[in-house]
Amino acid sequence: MPKSVCLLLGVHAHQPVGNFSRVIDDAHARCYGPFLRAMHGYPDFRFSIHFSGWLFDYLMKHYAGEMELLKEMVERGQAEIFGAGYTEPVLAVIPHRDRKAQIEKLSARLKKTLGEKPEGAWLTERVWEATVVPALADSGISYTTVDDYHFLCTGKTAPELDGFFTTEEDGRKLDLFPISEALRYRLPFHQANEVVSYLESLAKEKGDPAAIYFDDIEKFGIWPETYHWVYEQGWLKDFVEGVLSSKIIKTMRYSDYRKMAKTRGVIYLPTTSYIEMNEWTLPVPAAYHYADLVQESKNSGKFEQNKAFLRGGIWKNFLSRYPESNWMHKRMLALSSRFESLPREKKTAEMQELLFEAQANDAYWHGLFGGLYLPHLRRAVYRAIVKLEGLLDAASSRESKEIRDLDLDGHDEAFIQNGVLQVAVRLDGSASVCEWDAYALSHNFADTLSPPEEHYHRKIHFQENEKETEGAIYNPHEKMGFKQRITPEDLKTGEGPKSIFMERWIMQSEIKRPDYEPVPERNPHGMAFSARVGEGKAEKRIRLEQNCLIAEYAFQGVGEGTFCVEINLAMPSCDGPAGRYRIGDDIMGGFGQELTIQDLRSLTLEDDVLGGMLHIHLEQGMGCYARPFYSVSQSEAGFEKIMQAVTISLSCRPESLSGVVSIRFEVD
């Protein structure tokens, strides 16, 4: 019998919920549109494709022409559409009921629009836990794709991974296809003829071997330099025509291959994701140690045989690494439970839609991809959280004050709400505000980031932006460039939480932070605290009053020194032109600039993106120093600085004041 190999080529298209429309339009212009138009011209080239639900709806609304081409390819049996969770959640970190609902919503949408209900599903970031099997199976999904690395971790060898396997959990079964890492790194970064030759080398005389590829479509036009490479220089055309002209390679949809071939047997995969994620999810210095072990193994020439046993972290480590991610996640889980507990007649489609948006994966993690560092993606999650909470409160009221340990850090938080605003006050000694929601704006003013040291920071110190090798383009997994100049000052970490109302005392050149203890407070919309400061005492009260958040301080016998309070505010415009400081009619500067005022009584933060403004009122004048707070992160385009918050430091000498120091924020 002649040798043959079945090419199962799948591509995954996704844009985060809350991403800028200009970004999606650019992605369509450079990738989604050209790819669909190109593939439509080759009816004999069969492939599989997945669009996340949010992106699918956007493209259907704005680019119906290209989506009609997709429908034609589905109808003529050329393209197979894959399902998934509607907003692209990591299924392993949302409740079972939401996994099912997310998958079923996208499947129903695809059936209605394209006429085909998916049998296969894309698994977000290939994050595998056996607990996802029942939800996938119960939602009508028969198979999914994960990396070959998952299989190597069970003791399988690479030559065995040219077909699909079967697993089961709680009485439900699911077929699993191992995605080839060798193909992930070749397409589309190597010359088309070299990739075709490699595919042909995988052919066998029997056994129906499969070359399994399923990866981000963004590699075909959006990643650096790929649009020119894939379309203008003709890589995709050369690759498709090279495959079709081969007498050895047969293109197939995953569904066709599964009907033709038999399972290679039962398998149970460990909890893991793709191998790069295993490093990204580890904190420093563990990530350094892991990367060094990997490099040592590569230097010794034994990496391929060792890599399955050089296991790093798991995806859920992001929730323990980043307090901000963990906080969002626990807020989402709590609201999911509230929604589930509502009587059926009080549940609405809008509530479920907002819950799904709060579960979108992108803002919860960070590596080469993942958008935890991107304020507009976190803002989209909080917009959904705050808006959903408002709807749930209208359907079923709750107490004005509740104390619980939401984030499981061993310290309680006090949640105070009056129907207009809500604050979460930490009872960990800081008495700071870690969440401040304005329901009318669906915005959390405390949504910022305290970036830790990242594993890639050490790369910044010695990496140069090298040119790609001749005849190929670089893979961002393998090296990174620089979008902006990064200085040592930009890499400062470990400064602690970037909360609201963080106090410190400067006494004889020594900086001290008060350790607050809660004291009785009758106001149902407030909390009171007391702390020793030197030989004296400081009292702090936080309360809500209609659309105002108020912090009040009183001092007794604290002696000489300077009292400072730091306030970190998430303003959506960041350092763009839509945000500005005002005093009266005078514009004092943008949020990306520094601002110093010796005797501040009032200041307005005006933000066109927010659709509102904050007014700061001080009963007694205080010194003010406002500045932008930046973080440094990596993306597939390089290292970049991103503004996270407006940091306002207010200071005074208590002995020069009389009465109570009052800081009032009014949401307009």
Active site residue 575: no
Pairwise CA distance, residues 223 & 228, whole Å: 10
Please give the single-letter amino acid code of residue 549: L
The distance in angstroms from the start CA to the end CA of the chain is 76
- Cα→Cα distances 416→375, 483, 522, 534, Å: 25, 42, 13, 30
Active-site residue flag, 216: yes
**488 CB-near residues (< 8 Å, 6+ apart):** none
Q: In which element (H, E) is residue 200 found?
A: helix 192-201
Strand partners, 57: none
Q: Name the residue among 82, 163, 159 with its Cα closest to residue 117.
A: 82
SS3 532: strand
Q: What is the DSSP letter of 620?
A: E
- What does the alpha-carbon distance between residue 499 and residue 430 come to, in Å, rounded to a whole number? 10
Alpha-helix residue ranges (DSSP H) falling in 312-399: 317-321, 323-341, 349-358, 375-395
DSSP 73-139: HHHTTSEEEEB--TT---GGGS-HHHHHHHHHHHHHHHHHHHS---SEEE-GGG-B-GGGHHHHHHT
d(CA 609, CA 578): 7
Give the C-alpha distances (Å, rounded to integers) separating 318 from 200, 328, 362, 494: 40, 12, 12, 17
Alpha-helical segments (H) within 301-348? 303-306, 317-321, 323-341
Q: What 8-state DSSP symbol labels residue 322?
A: -
The Cα–Cα gap between 385 and 378 comes to 11
Residue type present at position 473: I
DSSP string, 415-453: EEE-SSEEEEEETTTT--EEEEEETTTTEETT-------
Catalytic residue among 66, 125, 148, 362: 125
Contact 40, 33 (CB under 8 A): no
DSSP assignment of 246-281 equals -SSEEE--HHHHHHHS----B----SB--HHHHHHT
Distance separating alpha carbons of residues 337 and 442, to the nearest angstrom: 20
Question: Are the C-beta atoms of 608 and 579 separated by less than 8 Å?
Answer: yes
SS3 at position 9: strand
Please say whether the dihedral angle defined by the alpha carbons of residues 223, 226, 230 and 232, taken in this order, is positive or negative: positive
Sheet containing 143-147: which strands, arranged edge to edge? 120-122, 143-147, 172-179, 165-169
Which amino acids are annotated catalytic?
125, 216
